Amino acid sequence: MSFIENLFFGNIDPQSRAVRTGSRADKLRTLITDHLPEIENALPDEQRGVLERIMEAQGELDTISELDSFTLGFRLGAAFTYDTFVNTDTPYRDLMQKL
């Protein structure tokens, strides 16, 4: 199957990645998950709802940011490929080209 076919059929999932144990991301995630219940239990009920809405909004913002970064990276890669293989604008003539 080609890359495009694999992408179409869902065999490629660029978001599917595991966090390495002991990495900075793993430590930050652990910090959050270890201390979040403590904070939730210390808050009155109405403030717990506010915290929950903030966490949901942060998750949505993270998704928007990840999509933007993915799109930008894809566009940069496409521009690099175009410039490498299609664009022939240079100040000098390539000696390997036919005269």
Domain boundaries, the chain: 1-42, 46-83
Identify the pLDDT of residue 98: 61
The type of residue at 79 is A
* Exposed/middle/buried for residue 48 (C-beta within 10 Å: 0-12, 13-18, 19+): middle
Q: What is the largest CA-CA distance in the chain?
A: 80
Q: How confident is the model at residue 1 (pLDDT cuts 50, 70, 90)?
A: confident
The mean pLDDT of the chain is 88
Convert the pLDDT of each residue in 58-89 to its tens digit: 999 999 998 999 899 989 999 999 888 887 77
| Residues 6+ away with beta carbon under 8 Å from 48 | 40
Is the pTM higher than 0.85? The answer reads no
